Every structure is written in C-alpha cells, then in structure tokens.
A and B are shown apart, each in its own frame.
Chain A
Amino acid sequence: MSNGLSSPWVHLGHLDDLWFQIAGTLCNLRCHHCFISCSPTNHSFGYLSLETVRRRLEESVALGVKEYYFTGGEPFLNPEMVPILEETLRYGPATVLTNATVLKEAWLQRLAAVERQSLYSLEFRVSIDGYSPETNDPIRGEGTFRRAMEGTRLLVQFGFLPIITIARTWPEEQDHDIRERFRRVLSEAGYERPRVKILPTLLLGAEVERSRGYAEHEQVTAQMMEEFDTGKLVCEHSRIVTDRGVHVCPILIDAPDSLLAENLADSLRPFQMSHGACYTCYQYGAICSNATQSGG
C-alpha cells in the first residue's frame, strides 16, 4: 500500500484504550463507506468468544488499560455480546459501536441493570448517515434509518444516552446545519438531549469505490511528524484484539503488517505509519478514540 521506507514510526505511549473486534467483519448491513467492508457474508474476521475477551481483560489489568471499546461489524450479532459487556464492566468503562438495528429489549434491560451496579459507564455509539431515510438509506441500505431510530429510541427508553455518530458525506461547511437537523429529528423521535458527533470518512475498503482511494502523495513523512502531537493518533494509545491476534489499530486490521502479536504484552512495539489511512489520522486526529465508522 505504500513506500514504507521513509514513513515515521509511532511509539505507544501507554495502552489506554483496548479495542475488541468483537463481531469480526460480520454485519447485518453493507454500508457503502464501511472501511473494512463488513457484510453478512464477510468472514475474514470472526466473532470473539467470551473466553478470549476474558483472557485479554485479565491481561489488561497489569498493563493499566483505562477503557474498553467494542466494534465490528455489528457487535450485537455476537451471541455472547451481553455477557461480554457484563464481564467488561467489572474491569472498567465500555463503549460499543453499533448500528442499533438489531437491539433487543431483553438485552438492554439486562445491560441497564448491570451498568447501574457498575462504577463505570456503558456508552453506545450509534452510526447513522443522514437525518432522513432519503439521506441515510442510499448509503446504509433500505429501511436502515427507521430501524436505527427505533434502536436509538429503545436505548433511550432503557436510560442510555447513545452518542449518534455521523460519517461526513457532505462538505464540511454544512456541519452546523446538519448537526442541528439531526438534533431536531432525534428529539422528535423521543431523544430529548441527543449527543451528536460528526466524523471524517476514511478512504478504505468499500469507501474506495464510493469516492476515491488515497493518492500517492497522501502519505505521512518524517518531516510532517516534527512538532506533531502523536498522542492524537489512535495507535499511540490503543491496540485491537481480533480472532487473529492483536493489531495496531481498528482502522488497519486488513493490512498484514497491522498484526503485531498474539497477546497484548508483545503488541506494545512501535508501528510504521506507511498507510494512506495514517494520513487521515494525521489530519483529523483521534477519529476512533471516541468513534469510527466501523462497528455500526
């Protein structure tokens, strides 16, 4: 993907955020912009079991991990998702990135009870791409707007305050208007204090066909890194567990060089920023620490 020779290295400052590719690349949807091209038939990464998660949670204690994140695919396709979150909230705060189209009342009821007893927050991040079926469904699929709003309403009903993340598919200048329209639509749907976040779109996976790939000059060079705060990069404070092992960041799991080790302790080594996506990270900062477009 690159001319890796001149690319700078990123050293992990501290493993603050531990991610789990909990549903692999399996998703009930097939969004056009999904950067790891998740779908109902993409089995390149599989579900993580409760057992695997437990082993990594246990390992994370000695490493002083601060927060846990769950992504996919759609995390709630994983049949063990509820017990996995239950277990995680014993260790620390958990954030789930979901498309909110498959949530069930019984799960949310149980999770609400678990969170109430925990010291820690359980955050839901719901991905939507437009404030109406007309703007959302062409990207995420027929009927997905209505279903995501229904999922959001359910989350709110059980006392959660989901963060609605929108991948930017419009010129940046329109952010303000679109955010306001979103807020209005959400409050009409019964979400009185909607939390809304706009994210840049990554040019990877299915997104390459939707708009365009990265150009040759869109590479991070050593010179660009002078005076740059590497703390803004996800790979400076995160790692992600998949069914293959531990990778450098949630964005690059498809790239062979992203697989760093089998366990957390051995995955803490530096990584060379040789990918086009690294350029987006460089421009926009920590796009994933609070959200990505995958996993929902």
Chain B
Amino acid sequence: MPAFRAACLGGIYNNYLALEAALRDAHRQGVDAIYCLGDLGAFGPHPDRVFPLIHDHGVRCVQGNYDDSIGYGLNDCQCGYTDPRDNHFAQISYDYTFANTSANNRCWLKHLPQEIRFEACGQKVLLCHGSPRRTNEFLWESTTSTHFLEYLVKEADADVILATHSGIKWKRALSRDRLFANVGVLGRPENDGHTHVWYALLEMKSDAPPEIQFVPVEYDQRRLAREMREEKLPEEFVETILTGWWTTCLEILPAKERRRGRF
C-alpha cells in the first residue's frame, strides 16, 4: 500500500451533529478508513443518535472510559477528575447519558476493544483512548515530556500512537519518524473561544514519515444548544458549546492549557 489516509475522531460526547459534519468531511477527503477513539457519550443530548451514524459509516471504535462505564453499568464515568465541582457536573452528564442509552447500545459499548492496532505503509499504528497503558490517562501537551512519549511508543511497539480523552488536540514528532498525537474531540470546542471542534487526518506513505493534520469541523451548534436546553442539561454545558470556553472540568487542566481559556 503506497498511501493510506484515515480519519481519526476523538470523544463524541453525544454530539451527533458534529459527528455528522465530521463524517461528511472525511468522505469528501476520500479517506480509506474512519476510526473513533472512544467516549461516544457525555455532555451533549440524545446519546442514541450517535450509534446509527457510527454503524452506517463503518466507523471502528476504541472503548473509552465512558463507554466502559455505560457498557458495564458503573456508577460514574471514570473520567478521572479530582475536583468536587468537576465531579458534580460530570455526574450530571453521566446520569443523563446512562438513562438515555438503549440496552442494545449499552451492550455494544461493552464489547468495544480497548485498543485498535493496524499496519499501513510498513508502519505500526496504535489507537487508544487515554494512553496505551491506561484508558483514563490525561495526556496534555504541556505536561508530557518527549522522552515519556518515546517510552510509550517503545513499550507499545508502535510507530504512531493516537489518543484522545483530554479534549484538546496536540501532536509531537518523535525519534525515527515516529509520532504521537492527541486527536482532540468532536464533543465540545477546545477552550479557545472558537465554537468549532476538531478531528484528525492520519496520512501514511511508504516513502515519507506519517503525518497528522487537524481538521476543524463546523456544525449547527445552535441546534445542539437548543436540544441540550430541551433536555434540561446544565446551562454551563450550553455556554461552552455556544462560546467555545470551558466552564467545567477546569481543575484538571495544567497551567498552560488553563491560561489559554477564559475561566
């Protein structure tokens, strides 16, 4: 295979409108495959609207912490927050998502794999949720040393590792043309005052290093906000969708990432 292109979607968080828009864009780009790195639920409205899109478009999914929780009927999302206010809001979206995910879909989530591995253009790719070693590990750009990433690729025997979970995209080139990227999320904007969300295009060639390109996704965020209000989801979440600034999950952000936001 001389070239291979894949769309890699991060956490969807029930944002089926952004998912639709991302899928449309991925097809327009003519990708060879579409993957989702987990966390189909959380935050947004109508969890069950995500699943038909995933199935219809042949999206292969990794199991995120949310999917594991919903699938196994656990009491919380296992996101790994440490602040009581963050946990309070996380619990609201978890209870809502759990109550509104059908038994069939819950069962499907339960059986998702914790990682997906494939080879393309002679290189080994590993897709995971938080990190190869822990589903709910947060890997932030400003608190992850390059030699730690070198350790991860070596330990995982991979040339490319892609993850999500933290909610903010970033990438780093490693030695011998290896690559780590956090693909960001489709579920909510990334705390920069812009309302669009992101997915990642992985591009592999047999005669060049692998590349990641981040693609902005515009979608009908007003409609999403309206539906969130109709479902009585917290106004704090709606504000994030409409302004692009995070209002919750703030205490988990490292200094640099926190400083870029408003709150």
Contacts and interface: CB of A to CB of B under 8 A. Distances in A.
Contact of B147 (A64, A175, A179, A195): A64
B259 A159 contact: yes
Contact of B256 (A64, A92, A121, A197): A121
Interface string A219-238: 00000000000010000000
27 contacts: A14-B133, A16-B148, A63-B151, A64-B151, A65-B148, A66-B143, A66-B144, A66-B145, A67-B145, A92-B145, A92-B147, A92-B148, A93-B144, A115-B256, A120-B142, A120-B145, A121-B142, A121-B254, A121-B255, A121-B257, A123-B254, A160-B255, A161-B258, A161-B259, A175-B84, A179-B84, A193-B258
B151 A93 contact: no
B136 to A, nearest CB: 11
B151 A14 contact: yes
Interface string B236-263: 0000000000000011001111110001
Interface residues of B, number: 27
B20 interface: no
Interface residues of A, number: 30
Contacts of A231: 134
Interface string A58-81: 001111111100000000000000
B254 A193 contact: no
Interface string B130-162: 000110000011111111101110100000000
Interface of B: 82-84, 133-134, 140-148, 150-152, 154, 250-251, 254-259, 263
B143 A67 contact: yes
A231 B152 CA distance: 17
B254 A93 contact: yes
A216 B76 CA distance: 35
A276 to B, nearest CB: 25
Contacts of A202: none
Given A66-B148, A121-B143, 14 more contacts: A63-B147, A64-B145, A67-B143, A92-B147, A92-B148, A120-B145, A120-B256, A121-B142, A121-B255, A121-B256, A121-B257, A161-B258, A161-B259, A197-B82
Interface string A23-65: 0000000000000000000000000000000000000111111
